[in-house]
Structure 1
Amino acid sequence: MAKDTEKLIRQLSLISYLMAERRPVTATEIRRDVEGYSDMTEDAFARRFYADRAELDALGIHLSVDKPTDGFSEQENYSLAPEAFHLPPIAFTDAERAALQTALTLLDGEFAYAEPLRLALQQITWGRPSPLGSDSRQTIGLGITASAGGGETSARLAKIDTAIYRRKRIEFEYHTMGRDATEQRKVDPYHLLFEGGQFYLVGWSHERKDVREFRLSRIRGKVAYATKAEHDFQRPEDFDPRLYANRIPWQLGDTKGTAELEIPENLEWYIERQYGDYGTLENGVYKTDYSIARLLISWALEFGLRIVGPPELVQDARERVDKLIEDHRGEAPAVVPSRAPAVPVPVESNGRSRGGDAAIRPERFARLVTLATVLISAGKAGETLLVGDVCEQLQLSPTELREDIAVLNVVNFGGGAYVIYAEVKPTGEIEVDPEPYSDTFDRPARLLPIEAKALVAAIDLIGLAQADLRSGRSKVVDALGFDPVEEGLHIVSPKVDDDIMHRAEIAIQEHRLLELEYWTQSQDRYSERVVEPYGRINSREGWYIAAWDRSRGRLIHFRLDRIKTAQVLDETFEPNSELDVAADIGGWPRTGRIGGSRSARVHVGAEQARWAREQRPVLTEVEGGAVVVEITFKGLDFLVREVLKEAGDAVVLEPADAREAVLDAAEKLVARAT
Structure 2
Amino acid sequence: MAKDTEKLIRQLSLISYLMAERRPVTATEIRRDVEGYSGMNEDAFARRFYADRAELESLGIALTVDKPADGIAEQENYSLRPENFHLPAIEFSDAELASLQTALALLDGEFAYAEPLRLALQQISWGRPSPLRAPDQGSVALGLTASAGGHELSQRLAKVETAIFRHKTITFDYYTMQRDEVSHRKVDPYHLLYRDGQFYLLGRSHERDALRVFRLSRIRGKVAYATKAEHDFKRPVDFDPRPYAHRAAWQMGDAEATAEVWISERIAWQIKRHFGRYGRVEPVADGAIVLYTDYAVSRLIAAWVLSLGEHARVLGPPDLVDEVAQRAALVGERHTGTFELAECVGSGPPPAAAEAESNGAGRRETAIRPERFARLVTLASVLIEAGRAGRTLQRDDVIELLQVSEAELREDINVLNVVNFGGGSYVLYAELTDDGEIEVDPEPYSDNFARPARLLPVEAKALIAAIDLIGEHIPEGSLAGAREKIVAALGEDPTEGGLHIASAGGDDSEIAKVVSGAIAGRRLIELEYYKANEDEFSSRTVEPYALTNGLEGWYVASYDPSAEGDGQRHFRLDRIKHVTVLDERFTPRPEVDPAAAVEGWLRTGEVEASRMARLWIAPERARWEREARRVTEELADGAIVVELPFKGLDYLVREVLKGAGESVVLEPADARDAVREAVSRLAPVR
> TM-score scaled by structure 2?
0.94
List aligned pairs for 1:90-105, cutoff 5 A: 90-105=90-105
Asked if 1:290 is matched to 2:303, the reply is no
Q: Tell me if the contact between 2:617 and 2:663 (Cα under 8 Å) persists in the aligned partners.
A: yes
Q: Tell me if the contact between 1:102 and 1:132 (Cα under 8 Å) persists in the aligned partners.
A: no
Aligned partner of 1:322 among 326, 329, 341: 329
**1:277/1:346 CA distance change after superposition, 3 Å:** farther
**1:615/1:355 CA distance change after superposition, 3 Å:** farther
Partner Cα distance (1:90, 1:131) in 2: 14
1:17 maps to 17
Deviations 1:539-578 (A, max 9, x none): 1111101111122150111100111111111111112133
Partner Cα distance (1:101, 1:538) in 2: 18
Aligned partner of 1:454 among 462, 479, 489: 462
Percent identity among equivalent residues?
62
Partner Cα distance (1:4, 1:134) in 2: 34
Asked if 1:310 is matched to 2:317, the reply is yes
Asked if 1:536 is matched to 2:536, the reply is no
Partner Cα distance (1:49, 1:562) in 2: 59
1:478 maps to 488
Deviation at 1:259, TM superposition (A): 2.3
Q: Tell me if the contact between 1:150 and 1:357 (Cα under 8 Å) persists in the aligned partners.
A: no
1:402 maps to 410
Comparing 578-587 and 115-124, the one that deviates more: 578-587
Aligned partner of 2:594 among 562, 576, 581: 581
Deviations 1:582-613 (A, max 9, x none): 12201111111112212111111111111011
List aligned pairs for 1:102-181, cutoff 5 A: 102-130=102-130, 137-181=137-181
Deviation at 1:17, TM superposition (A): 0.7
Aligned partner of 2:525 among 494, 514, 517: 514
AA paired with 1:567? Answer: T
Deviation at 1:301, TM superposition (A): 0.8
SS in 2 for 1:213: strand
Asked if 1:247 is matched to 2:254, the reply is no
Asked if 1:607 is matched to 2:620, the reply is yes
1:627 maps to 640
Deviation at 1:347, TM superposition (A): 10
Q: Tell me if the contact between 1:536 and 1:544 (Cα under 8 Å) persists in the aligned partners.
A: yes
Deviation at 1:236, TM superposition (A): 1.6
1:209 maps to 209
SS in 2 for 1:138: coil
Q: Tell me if the contact between 2:321 and 2:685 (Cα under 8 Å) persists in the aligned partners.
A: no
Deviations 1:331-367 (A, max 9, x none): 232331236x967896999xxxx96244421111111
1:258 maps to 258
Deviation at 1:75, TM superposition (A): 1.6
Q: Tell me if the contact between 1:86 and 1:443 (Cα under 8 Å) persists in the aligned partners.
A: yes
Deviations 1:371-407 (A, max 9, x none): 1001111111111111111112221221111111001
Comparing 326-335 and 6-15, the one that deviates more: 326-335
Partner Cα distance (1:230, 1:494) in 2: 37
SS in 2 for 1:211: strand
Partner Cα distance (1:133, 1:39) in 2: 44
Deviations 1:409-437 (A, max 9, x none): 01111112211111111121111111111
Partner Cα distance (2:373, 2:133) in 1: 30
Aligned partner of 1:526 among 510, 524, 537: 537
Gaps of 5+ in 2: 356-361
Aligned partner of 2:668 among 637, 655, 660: 655
2:678 maps to 665
AA paired with 1:160? Answer: V
1:429 maps to 437
AA paired with 2:646? Answer: F
1:468 maps to 478
Q: Tell me if the contact between 2:59 and 2:456 (Cα under 8 Å) persists in the aligned partners.
A: yes
AA paired with 1:504? Answer: V
Alignment RMSD: 2.0
Partner Cα distance (2:291, 2:97) in 1: 44
Deviation at 1:141, TM superposition (A): 0.3
Partner Cα distance (1:348, 1:560) in 2: 30
Q: Tell me if the contact between 1:348 and 1:614 (Cα under 8 Å) persists in the aligned partners.
A: no
Deviation at 1:2, TM superposition (A): 0.9
SS in 1 for 2:418: coil
Asked if 1:338 is matched to 2:345, the reply is yes
Deviations 1:66-105 (A, max 9, x none): 1222222222211111221111111111221111011111
Deviation at 1:270, TM superposition (A): 1.0
Deviations 1:257-296 (A, max 9, x none): 3322221111111111111122323313333232221111
2:304 maps to 299
Q: Tell me if the contact between 2:121 and 2:131 (Cα under 8 Å) persists in the aligned partners.
A: no
Q: Tell me if the contact between 1:13 and 1:412 (Cα under 8 Å) persists in the aligned partners.
A: yes
**1:376/1:224 CA distance change after superposition, 3 Å:** same
Deviations 1:38-80 (A, max 9, x none): 1112221111111111111111111111122222222221111
SS in 1 for 2:609: coil
Aligned partner of 1:568 among 565, 578, 581: 581
Deviation at 1:24, TM superposition (A): 1.1
Partner Cα distance (1:205, 1:348) in 2: 33
AA paired with 2:424? Answer: G
2:359 maps to none
Aligned partner of 1:387 among 375, 391, 395: 395
AA paired with 2:589? Answer: N
AA paired with 2:150? Answer: G
Asked if 1:557 is matched to 2:562, the reply is no
Asked if 1:488 is matched to 2:493, the reply is no
Deviation at 1:111, TM superposition (A): 0.3
Partner Cα distance (1:148, 1:62) in 2: 32
Partner Cα distance (2:177, 2:252) in 1: 14
Q: Tell me if the contact between 2:201 and 2:213 (Cα under 8 Å) persists in the aligned partners.
A: yes
Partner Cα distance (2:452, 2:148) in 1: 29
SS in 1 for 2:512: helix
Deviation at 1:162, TM superposition (A): 1.5
Comparing 5-14 and 178-187, the one that deviates more: 178-187
Between the two proteins, the alignment pairs up a number of residues equal to 668
Comparing 79-88 and 316-325, the one that deviates more: 316-325
Partner Cα distance (1:152, 1:171) in 2: 16
List aligned pairs for 1:59-78, cutoff 5 A: 59-78=59-78
**1:607/1:300 CA distance change after superposition, 3 Å:** same
Partner Cα distance (1:651, 1:347) in 2: 29
Q: Tell me if the contact between 1:604 and 1:650 (Cα under 8 Å) persists in the aligned partners.
A: yes
AA paired with 2:403? Answer: Q
SS in 1 for 2:651: helix
Deviations 1:477-524 (A, max 9, x none): 111111111212111122643332211111111111111111011111
Partner Cα distance (2:425, 2:489) in 1: 31
2:197 maps to 197
AA paired with 1:540? Answer: L
Q: Tell me if the contact between 1:347 and 1:617 (Cα under 8 Å) persists in the aligned partners.
A: no
Q: Tell me if the contact between 1:110 and 1:359 (Cα under 8 Å) persists in the aligned partners.
A: no
AA paired with 2:639? Answer: A
Deviations 1:159-215 (A, max 9, x none): 111121221211211111111111111111111111100011111112122211111
AA paired with 1:494? Answer: A
Q: Tell me if the contact between 2:140 and 2:473 (Cα under 8 Å) persists in the aligned partners.
A: no
Q: Tell me if the contact between 2:392 and 2:439 (Cα under 8 Å) persists in the aligned partners.
A: yes
AA paired with 1:492? Answer: A
